[in-house]
Amino acid sequence: MKALTIPCLLLISMLTSASLTGASPAGKAFVATSKQHYSTATKSVLNLSADDKLTTTTYNSIYIPIKDIFAKQVDSLTWDNTKKLATITNEGKQLLINLSGKSIAASDNQVILPSEWVRIVNGRVSLNAYVLAFIFDRYADRYNDTEQVSAERAQWESKLSFLNIDWTDGLADKEHYIHVNVVFK
Protein backbone atom coordinates (compact mmCIF):
# COMPACT_ATOMS: atom_id res chain seq x y z
CA MET A 1 0.00 0.00 0.00
CA LYS A 2 2.89 2.38 0.86
CA ALA A 3 4.48 1.72 -2.52
CA LEU A 4 1.34 3.00 -4.26
CA THR A 5 0.67 5.90 -1.90
CA ILE A 6 4.01 7.69 -2.37
CA PRO A 7 3.88 7.85 -6.21
CA CYS A 8 0.26 9.04 -6.03
CA LEU A 9 1.18 11.80 -3.59
CA LEU A 10 4.08 12.86 -5.82
CA LEU A 11 1.79 13.02 -8.85
CA ILE A 12 -0.80 15.08 -6.97
CA SER A 13 1.95 17.42 -5.75
CA MET A 14 3.26 17.92 -9.29
CA LEU A 15 -0.19 18.57 -10.73
CA THR A 16 -1.09 21.02 -7.96
CA SER A 17 2.20 22.89 -8.38
CA ALA A 18 1.72 23.27 -12.14
CA SER A 19 -1.81 24.59 -11.76
CA LEU A 20 -0.78 27.19 -9.17
CA THR A 21 1.96 28.75 -11.26
CA GLY A 22 0.01 28.73 -14.48
CA ALA A 23 2.97 27.08 -16.22
CA SER A 24 2.99 23.52 -17.44
CA PRO A 25 4.53 21.29 -20.08
CA ALA A 26 0.98 20.93 -21.41
CA GLY A 27 0.90 24.71 -21.91
CA LYS A 28 3.81 24.53 -24.37
CA ALA A 29 2.29 21.54 -26.14
CA PHE A 30 -1.03 23.38 -26.45
CA VAL A 31 0.73 26.35 -28.12
CA ALA A 32 2.48 24.01 -30.56
CA THR A 33 -0.76 22.19 -31.39
CA SER A 34 -2.71 25.39 -31.89
CA LYS A 35 0.03 26.73 -34.19
CA GLN A 36 -0.15 23.61 -36.38
CA HIS A 37 -3.74 24.40 -37.28
CA TYR A 38 -2.99 27.76 -38.83
CA SER A 39 0.49 28.45 -40.21
CA THR A 40 3.97 29.58 -39.42
CA ALA A 41 2.87 33.20 -39.30
CA THR A 42 5.09 35.64 -37.45
CA LYS A 43 2.65 38.57 -37.36
CA SER A 44 -1.04 38.87 -36.56
CA VAL A 45 -4.20 40.74 -37.45
CA LEU A 46 -7.05 41.02 -34.95
CA ASN A 47 -10.53 41.33 -36.47
CA LEU A 48 -12.79 42.04 -33.52
CA SER A 49 -16.58 41.86 -33.98
CA ALA A 50 -18.69 43.22 -31.15
CA ASP A 51 -21.80 45.38 -30.89
CA ASP A 52 -22.29 45.18 -34.67
CA LYS A 53 -18.89 46.81 -35.28
CA LEU A 54 -15.72 45.40 -36.81
CA THR A 55 -12.33 46.67 -35.64
CA THR A 56 -9.15 45.53 -37.39
CA THR A 57 -5.68 45.97 -35.90
CA THR A 58 -2.34 44.70 -37.25
CA TYR A 59 0.60 43.61 -35.07
CA ASN A 60 4.24 42.80 -35.89
CA SER A 61 4.09 39.81 -33.55
CA ILE A 62 1.89 36.77 -33.05
CA TYR A 63 1.06 38.21 -29.64
CA ILE A 64 -2.06 40.38 -29.41
CA PRO A 65 -2.46 42.83 -26.50
CA ILE A 66 -5.20 41.66 -24.13
CA LYS A 67 -6.43 45.24 -23.82
CA ASP A 68 -7.18 45.31 -27.56
CA ILE A 69 -9.13 42.05 -27.29
CA PHE A 70 -11.04 42.52 -24.05
CA ALA A 71 -11.09 46.15 -22.82
CA LYS A 72 -14.52 46.99 -24.26
CA GLN A 73 -16.01 43.53 -23.66
CA VAL A 74 -15.42 42.87 -19.95
CA ASP A 75 -16.27 44.50 -16.63
CA SER A 76 -12.65 45.42 -15.90
CA LEU A 77 -9.09 44.83 -17.00
CA THR A 78 -6.32 45.74 -14.54
CA TRP A 79 -2.55 45.50 -14.28
CA ASP A 80 -0.68 45.25 -10.98
CA ASN A 81 2.86 46.34 -11.81
CA THR A 82 4.21 45.25 -8.42
CA LYS A 83 2.89 41.69 -8.76
CA LYS A 84 3.23 41.58 -12.58
CA LEU A 85 -0.34 40.34 -12.72
CA ALA A 86 -3.06 41.22 -15.22
CA THR A 87 -6.65 40.53 -14.16
CA ILE A 88 -9.62 40.39 -16.49
CA THR A 89 -12.91 40.46 -14.58
CA ASN A 90 -16.28 39.63 -16.09
CA GLU A 91 -19.53 38.19 -14.73
CA GLY A 92 -18.00 37.79 -11.25
CA LYS A 93 -15.11 35.64 -12.52
CA GLN A 94 -11.47 36.53 -13.11
CA LEU A 95 -8.82 35.52 -15.60
CA LEU A 96 -5.37 35.89 -14.05
CA ILE A 97 -2.35 36.42 -16.28
CA ASN A 98 0.74 35.96 -14.12
CA LEU A 99 3.94 37.32 -15.65
CA SER A 100 5.98 37.38 -12.44
CA GLY A 101 7.44 33.90 -12.74
CA LYS A 102 6.26 33.26 -9.17
CA SER A 103 3.55 30.87 -8.05
CA ILE A 104 0.09 32.21 -7.35
CA ALA A 105 -3.03 30.45 -6.13
CA ALA A 106 -6.44 30.78 -7.73
CA SER A 107 -9.72 30.91 -5.86
CA ASP A 108 -12.95 29.28 -7.06
CA ASN A 109 -13.90 32.21 -9.29
CA GLN A 110 -10.44 32.56 -10.88
CA VAL A 111 -8.65 30.93 -13.81
CA ILE A 112 -4.88 31.20 -14.28
CA LEU A 113 -3.72 31.29 -17.89
CA PRO A 114 -0.58 29.22 -18.63
CA SER A 115 2.46 31.50 -18.74
CA GLU A 116 3.54 29.97 -22.08
CA TRP A 117 0.52 31.59 -23.73
CA VAL A 118 1.34 35.17 -22.78
CA ARG A 119 4.18 37.67 -22.73
CA ILE A 120 4.83 41.37 -22.54
CA VAL A 121 5.34 42.87 -26.00
CA ASN A 122 6.17 46.57 -26.27
CA GLY A 123 5.09 47.06 -22.66
CA ARG A 124 1.69 45.43 -23.18
CA VAL A 125 0.41 42.13 -21.79
CA SER A 126 -0.27 40.05 -24.89
CA LEU A 127 -1.86 36.69 -25.71
CA ASN A 128 -0.60 34.23 -28.32
CA ALA A 129 -2.79 34.61 -31.43
CA TYR A 130 -2.69 30.89 -32.19
CA VAL A 131 -4.00 30.02 -28.74
CA LEU A 132 -6.75 32.65 -28.91
CA ALA A 133 -7.85 31.36 -32.31
CA PHE A 134 -7.71 27.70 -31.30
CA ILE A 135 -9.55 27.79 -27.96
CA PHE A 136 -12.73 29.29 -29.38
CA ASP A 137 -12.35 28.00 -32.98
CA ARG A 138 -15.80 27.44 -34.42
CA TYR A 139 -14.50 24.62 -36.61
CA ALA A 140 -12.38 22.88 -33.94
CA ASP A 141 -14.60 19.80 -33.91
CA ARG A 142 -13.59 19.17 -37.53
CA TYR A 143 -9.87 18.96 -36.79
CA ASN A 144 -8.22 15.58 -36.66
CA ASP A 145 -6.88 16.18 -33.14
CA THR A 146 -6.26 13.51 -30.55
CA GLU A 147 -8.93 13.06 -27.90
CA GLN A 148 -6.60 14.63 -25.36
CA VAL A 149 -6.09 17.81 -27.44
CA SER A 150 -9.81 18.08 -28.20
CA ALA A 151 -10.67 17.62 -24.54
CA GLU A 152 -8.12 20.20 -23.40
CA ARG A 153 -9.36 22.75 -25.95
CA ALA A 154 -12.97 22.18 -24.90
CA GLN A 155 -11.98 22.44 -21.24
CA TRP A 156 -10.31 25.82 -21.82
CA GLU A 157 -13.27 27.03 -23.85
CA SER A 158 -15.54 26.14 -20.93
CA LYS A 159 -13.25 27.70 -18.30
CA LEU A 160 -13.08 30.95 -20.28
CA SER A 161 -16.76 31.10 -21.25
CA PHE A 162 -17.27 34.07 -18.90
CA LEU A 163 -15.26 36.19 -21.39
CA ASN A 164 -18.28 35.97 -23.74
CA ILE A 165 -16.37 35.02 -26.88
CA ASP A 166 -18.88 33.39 -29.21
CA TRP A 167 -16.33 32.00 -31.65
CA THR A 168 -13.01 32.62 -33.38
CA ASP A 169 -11.58 31.81 -36.76
CA GLY A 170 -7.85 31.77 -37.49
CA LEU A 171 -6.81 32.28 -41.09
CA ALA A 172 -3.24 32.41 -42.39
CA ASP A 173 -2.19 34.43 -45.40
CA LYS A 174 0.85 34.41 -47.69
CA GLU A 175 2.33 37.49 -46.03
CA HIS A 176 3.05 35.54 -42.80
CA TYR A 177 0.09 36.98 -40.90
CA ILE A 178 -2.46 35.04 -38.92
CA HIS A 179 -5.83 36.76 -39.06
CA VAL A 180 -7.74 36.08 -35.85
CA ASN A 181 -11.42 36.83 -36.16
CA VAL A 182 -12.99 37.17 -32.71
CA VAL A 183 -16.77 37.42 -32.39
CA PHE A 184 -18.26 38.31 -29.02
CA LYS A 185 -21.75 37.28 -27.93
Q: Which of 111, 117, 113 is nearest to 98 (CA)?
A: 113
Least confident of 8-12, 105-109, 138-142, 168-172: 8-12
Of the two residues 81 and 18, the one the predictor is more confident about is 81
Say if residue 136's pLDDT is above 90. yes
Domain spans, the chain: 2-184
Q: Please state the rounded mean pLDDT for residues 61-81.
A: 97
Segment 142-146 shows an average pLDDT of 83
- Contact between 177 and 58 under an 8 Å Cβ cutoff? The reply is yes
Order of strands, edge to edge, in the sheet holding 124-128? Answer: 63-65, 124-128, 118-121
**pLDDT of 4 strictly over 70:** no
List alpha helices for 54-183, DSSP H: 66-70, 129-135, 147-159
pTM of structure: 0.78
| Band of residue 184 on the pLDDT scale cut at 50, 70, 90 | very high
pLDDT tens-digit map of 157-181 = 999 999 999 999 999 888 889 999 9
The dihedral formed by the CA atoms of 169, 152, 67 and 179, expressed in degrees to the nearest 10: -20
Q: What tens digit of pLDDT does each residue of 15-54 get? A: 444 444 455 556 777 777 666 665 678 899 999 999 899 9
Q: Which of 70-84, 89-103, 164-178 has the lowest mean pLDDT?
A: 164-178
Is pLDDT above 60 for 2? no
> Quick check: helix, strand or coil at residue 134?
helix
Residue whose C-alpha is closest to residue 133's, from 66, 37, 24, 11: 37
Q: What percent of the chain has pLDDT over 70?
A: 82
